[in-house]
Amino acid sequence: MGRTVARLAAADPDFIVVGGLDREGASDPPEEVPEVATPANPGSLLGSADVVIDFSAPAFLRQVLTTRSESGDTTGLVVGTTGLSSEDRILLERASESAPVLTAANFSVGVNLLLMLAEQAAASLGQRFDVEIVETHHRRKEDAPSGTALALGEAVASGRSVDLDEVRRDGRSGRPGPRPDGEIGFHSLRGGDVIGEHHVHFIGELERIDLTHRAEDRAVFAAGALRAARWLAAQKPGFYSMRDVLGL
């Protein structure tokens, strides 16, 4: 993702790529990135940018946030890293007190429209319809369910005015018994080089509604992140989402 963001940014006259952050010992940086440092020792890179786009891992994001906090940096931050803990989210909220921060489980415009549609469908259909969320990703993905699947679950829960943690179920095995009313099920498939596919199934007694999004190229996420960065650069400190960027 970092390489794709750098490639698209370098080709866009609205952006100047000042550098990149990568793990210790990483080699072969893309030609679009003039300087590469580590998250723990970024040097002047953070301060020389208007916006930092992070598609890494929770541990590396924590290093960036810690470095920012220690240096008092107020550079805008666009975060696409998933698998974040509650502690990570607290760090992001603290960062948003002095800088504009935007997080998204998925930067695709289509997925963000899907989130809105899932919330609206859940509010309209109510608990008479069972909800199952199925996501498929490449075999190298480490977290499950995906951040986008969880965001879809949060959208459904919001539409129903319930707490997702109280109705969530991850997979089924053995003899789990009858499906409880109001449950929101998650199922994760892993294989091959699938970029990302998400389905939200609303299953009723006499009818069924399926909402689906398939990503055909990772560039869709990079393009959305750059759109978010362009928008965030003009914002005041605060915590934002793609809904703010898209005006949804």
Catalytic residue ranges = 137, 141
Residue with tokens 């890494």: 56
How many angstroms separate the CA atoms of 39 and 178, rounded? Answer: 48
Sheet containing strand 208-214, strands side by side:
168-170, 184-190, 130-137, 197-203, 208-214
In single-letter form, the type of residue at position 49 comes to: A
Residue with tokens 């940018």: 49
Where b means 16+ CB within 10 Å and e means fewer, 168-186 reads beeeeeeeeeeeeeeebbb
Closest CA to 157 of 199, 115, 207: 115
Where b means 16+ CB within 10 Å and e means fewer, 145-161 reads bbbbbbbbbbbbbbbbe
